[in-house]
Homo-oligomer: A and B are copies of this chain.
Amino acid sequence: MTKQTNGYFTEENSIDVVINSMSDECEPRLKEVISVIVRKLHEAVKEIEPTQDEWMNAILFLTKTGHKTDDWRQEFILLSDVLGVSMLVDAINSRRPNGASENTVLGPFHLEDVPSLEMGANISLDGKGEPMFVSGRILDVEGRPISGAKIDIWQANEDGFYDVQQKGIQPDFNLRGVFTTGDDGRYFFKSAKPKYYPIPDDGPVGALLAALGRHPYRPAHFHYIIQKKGFQTLTTHLFDPDDAYIHSDAVFGVKESLMAEFKRIDNAQKITEHGFNQPYYEVVYDFVLARSR
């Protein structure tokens, strides 16, 4: 039962009074989490000194964010993303030894049960966009190739849309594939150059971004999940450093170490060798997995 407090609520003792109202029987981790939230929330209110109208605007913003959320749209995750909270939680849960590849956010467009493909396959099923050839190795922190690593890749198309956003326009599983490395740890596949795209910005989070003078765009990237027993799973992106939004990702997902040169190849012999009929972009990037903790 709620504890009887020694003092009544005042502006000065507000944090202690609220924290002390929790019962001693409250589960310890929940009590710890709520104590921090109450303390930081009250510190914020004391620093901001909101008017009653400003407080009501905050209530209405949260209400609109809740009402925009349904089975297909998670506006609170978007809010967490644009405030850098999602990336911070990811960073805290993905601290890695020096030399290991860095994590970044999963995003909402990952699919389970994507077809496994032969190494070298073209994941662009409709052949649209500028062709790419992506390759590299999966290594341990000592630089040794990892055999049998499962590489799950997905990306947006030349217009900045994932297949699941364009059902009937893009083929199912377009620009997705699962590959498994051999003894040399190498991976390589053909694809189409991804484009930057906006996060959904027709809701309260989009309105907030506009009011803050921020755009809703994410720079072009490939998604990777790389898994191998005995190693920490790596959920990350590869970014195009020449993208217009590389310095201002709306969700703060970019890390310096996750940029790979998107190199344009117009050498006719190389074009033919790779089975393309036009210039293509080449990306070479090695991923390094940390051992399981």
What is A's interface to B at a CB cutoff of 8 Å? 1-5, 8-11, 14, 17-18, 21-27, 30-34, 36-38, 40-52, 54-55, 59, 62-63, 65-67, 69, 74, 76-77, 80, 83-93, 95, 211-215, 247-248, 250, 252-256
Chain B residues with CB below 8 A from A62, complex form: 62, 65-66, 76
In Å, the complex CA distance between A37 and B80 comes to 12
In Å, the complex CA distance between A55 and B55 comes to 24
On whether A10 and B91 interact (CB within 8 A), knowing A23-B214, A211-B30, A248-B2, the answer reads yes
A11 touches B59 (CB 8 A): no
In Å, the complex CA distance between A77 and B59 comes to 7
Q: Closest approach, in angstroms, between the C-beta of A62 and any C-beta of chain B? A: 5
Residue in chain B with minimal CB distance to A91: B11
In Å, the complex CA distance between A38 and B214 comes to 15
Q: List 13 A-B contacts (CB under 8 A).
A: A4-B248, A5-B248, A9-B253, A10-B91, A14-B84, A14-B87, A21-B214, A32-B48, A38-B84, A45-B92, A52-B93, A55-B80, A67-B67
A9 touches B49 (CB 8 A): no
- Give 10 closest A-B pairs by Cβ, nearest first: A66-B66, A23-B213, A18-B84, A9-B252, A40-B44, A11-B91, A4-B247, A2-B248, A2-B214, A40-B40
In Å, the complex CA distance between A62 and B85 comes to 15
In Å, the complex CA distance between A27 and B49 comes to 17
Chain B residues with CB below 8 A from A92, complex form: 11, 45-46, 49-50
Chain B residues with CB below 8 A from A213, complex form: 1-2, 22-26
Residue in chain B with minimal CB distance to A45: B88
A51 touches B248 (CB 8 A): no
In Å, the complex CA distance between A270 and B23 comes to 45
A23 touches B63 (CB 8 A): no
Which of B26, B36, B255 is A47 in contact with, Cβ under 8 Å?
B36
On whether A42 and B247 interact (CB within 8 A), knowing A1-B213, A252-B18, the answer reads no
A214 touches B22 (CB 8 A): yes
Chain B residues with CB below 8 A from A86, complex form: 55
In Å, the complex CA distance between A287 and B85 comes to 46
Chain B residues with CB below 8 A from A18, complex form: 83-84, 252
B17 touches A252 (CB 8 A): yes
In Å, the complex CA distance between A51 and B94 comes to 10
Chain B residues with CB below 8 A from A42, complex form: 84-85, 88
Q: Closest approach, in angstroms, between the C-beta of A218 and any C-beta of chain B? A: 12
Chain B residues with CB below 8 A from A22, complex form: 212-214
B76 touches A63 (CB 8 A): yes
